[in-house]
Every structure is written in C-alpha cells, then in structure tokens.
Copies of this chain bind each other. A is one copy, B any other.
Amino acid sequence: MYEQLAKSIGEKVALTTEEFELCKTFFIPKKIRKKQTLLLEGDVCTYNAFIEKGVLRSYTIDDKGNEHIVQFGFEGWWVTDLSSYLTGANSIYTIEAIEDSELLLLTASAREELMIQIPAFERYQRLLLQNAYIALQTRVNSALNATAEEKYLNLTASYPTIIARVPQHMVASYLGLTPETLSRVRKQISLRK
C-alpha cells in the first residue's frame, strides 16, 4: 500500500527505515471508486492526497456551467487544492476519481507535524512544490501563447500518460479547448503523416 509513496520520497530525499515507518503512521489510507469525489466545490480541502493507484482529476465549473479541468493525478502524484488545504478557505474545485483509486491522505496538521519530526520530509515537500511550480509555468506559457495544435502536441510530448489514460473530452477541457476542436486537431495531425 505504501510502495508508490516510498518510491516518490526516495527519489527526492533519503529516509531511514524507522523514519519511513513513522511517516506512514501520519497517512490515512482510503479507497475511492470511479466517479466518487474526494472534495466537493464549496467544502474545505482537508486532505493532501497521494495516489498509490488510479487516476483523479480536479475541476471547476464556471458561470455558464462549463467544466474546466485544472489538474490530473496518477500513481505517484499528489492531488489537492493547495489554496484551500493551506488556508482553510472554501474550495472552488471538485476532486473526483476517474478510475477506482487508492489514496493516502494527509491532513494539513499531520503534514506540519511530519515536517517538524522529519526535516527531510519538509525538504521532500519543497522539492515537489518546486517541480510543480516549474511544470505550471510551462503550462501558463502554453495556455497563453500556443495554438490549439501546439497545446496538444506539447501535452503529448510532456505527459503522454494523460493522453493515454484520460478520455479525450477531458484532455480538451484540460487544454482549454472544446472537444470538437481537439478532435479536428487530432485529425489534422494524423492526416499529415
């Protein structure tokens, strides 16, 4: 149940066996079925979820009722609404399982305590955040300046996992395109080779 977590931490910092055993005790394992939600818009996001198995997405719904996917999560990724999780504000996002999933939940206070008891864990969290920030910067760039086709090609290059495991209309939503546009973009690309 903790294989992915061990792997994820191990890639960034070194924990002793005892430290990792201690670490485990702070997490709450949870299974969640496809289409079930971990967080509902309007609620406070009480957990940071590490994904041992499965796929999740977080999304907002705008005034016109359109869904906008903000983030996907796969095995070995963390998913949360950081803003709500850290400040306790009501979330504007819904987090939902796309496939049956196994999660390890960490409350904000458990996370604080873990970072105090195991300094390497604070380091791990900071490194994760750095990477997430860099990835997000790339995404802003693509969102602002790329054409529909470029957005799609950038995504296939950077995150083939997303293309492979997520329904096409969700990929479209993640890229800020309509499903029709993404379908046409894919057709264009396939015709060219």
Residue of B nearest to A66 (CB): B145
Residue numbers in B under 8 Å from A123 (CB-CB) = 122
Residue A141 is within 8 A (CB to CB) of chain B in the complex: yes
Pairwise interchain contact B136-A140, C-beta atoms closer than 8 A: yes
A-B contact pairs, 10 of them (CB 8 A): A70-B137, A82-B133, A82-B134, A83-B137, A140-B143, A143-B143, A143-B176, A144-B175, A144-B176, A145-B176
Main secondary structure of the interface of A (DSSP, over half): helix
A140–B134 Cα distance when bound, in Å, is 13
A112 to chain B minimum Cβ distance, whole angstroms, is 11
| Those 4 A-B pairs whose CB atoms lie nearest each other, nearest first | A144-B176, A143-B143, A126-B126, A83-B134
Minimum C-beta distance from A176 to chain B (A): 3
- Number of copies of this chain that the complex holds: 2
Q: Contacts of A137 on B, CB cut-off 8 Å?
A: 70, 82-83, 136
**Does residue A60 face the partner (Cβ distance < 8 Å to B)?**
yes
Contact with A129, one of B119, B129, B140, B176 (Cβ below 8 angstroms): B129
In contact, A70 and B130 (Cβ under 8 angstroms): no
Nearest B residue to A87 via CB reads B134
In the complex formed, the residue of B with least CB distance to A132 is B133
A136 to B142, alpha carbons, bound, how many Å? 13
> Are the C-beta atoms of A141 and B70 separated by less than 8 Å?
yes
A86 within 8 A of B: yes
- What's the least CB distance linking A150 to chain B, in Å? 10
Which residues of B sit under 8 angstroms from A130, Cβ to Cβ?
82, 86, 129
CB–CB B68/A145 < 8 A = yes
Question: What chain B residues lie within 8 Å of A133 (beta carbons)?
Answer: 82, 129, 132-133, 136
Q: A62-B145, A129-B126 are in contact. Are A140 and B82 (CB under 8 A)?
A: no
A68 to chain B, nearest CB (A): 5
Closest B residue by C-beta to A62:
B145
CB distance from A37 to the nearest CB of B (A): 19
